[in-house]
């Protein structure tokens, strides 16, 4: 094997294999787009005007406005969302009637569960393995859960909204 600064050569049964090193030099200024220093047609010096144009073309820092306080988290959202997911999975497995889900979920979620129950084979009861709740704003909670459905672990995404009665209701659900 011969090693040089630019390439390596190795002999094989099919002949030599040459591997060349790629030289990479980062551009010193990522906003710099000027390569020519003078116009190829008239010979005008482009460096001075291009620098001024480049500085003017850079975006101004965005003004974000006032800093807002974090959302006050509802301590009941996490445990309640997990309990609703467990109950929805019980209906998904056929261990509960869908009529009991009316107060916990929207008709779209119940319809989705009925269709999904026909698609996924289950030899054992479905379980919620982990549940992570975030609150993007007051009155809403988004859930990412890991569930065991049959023999497989599946991700589950859900969105909950706080109902007028003060209880959390599932408005969107997807088994991924």
- State pLDDT tens for residues 21-36: 666 555 555 554 445 5
Domains of the chain, residue spans: 8-57, 77-175
Architecture of domain 77-175: Roll (3.10)
Tell me the pTM: 0.59
Q: Which of 147, 97, 149, 148 is nearest to 119 (CA)?
A: 149
Q: Which residues of 46-74 are buried (b: 16+ CB within 10 A; e: fewer)?
A: beeebeeeeeeeeeeeeeeeeeeeeeeeb
- State pLDDT tens for residues 130-165: 999 999 888 899 999 999 988 889 999 999 998 888
Tokens of 70: 């974090």
């Amino acid at each position: 094997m011969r090693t040089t600064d630019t390439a390596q050569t190795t002999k094989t049964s099919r002949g030599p294999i040459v591997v060349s090193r790629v030289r990479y030099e980062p551009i010193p200024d990522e906003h710099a787009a000027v390569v020519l220093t003078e116009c190829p047609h008239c010979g005008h010096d482009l460096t001075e005007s291009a620098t001024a144009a480049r500085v003017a073309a850079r975006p101004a820092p965005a003004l974000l406005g006032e800093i807002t306080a974090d959302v006050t988290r509802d301590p009941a959202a996490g445990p309640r969302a997990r309990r609703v997911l467990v109950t929805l999975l019980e209906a998904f497995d056929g261990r509960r009637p869908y009529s009991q889900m009316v107060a916990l979920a929207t008709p779209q979620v119940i319809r989705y569960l009925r269709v999904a129950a026909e698609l996924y084979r289950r030899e054992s009861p479905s379980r919620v393995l982990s549940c992570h709740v975030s609150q993007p704003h007051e009155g809403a909670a988004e859930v990412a859960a890991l569930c065991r459905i049959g023999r497989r672990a599946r991700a589950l995404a859900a969105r909950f909204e706080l109902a007028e009665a003060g209880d959390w209701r599932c408005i969107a659900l997807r088994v991924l």
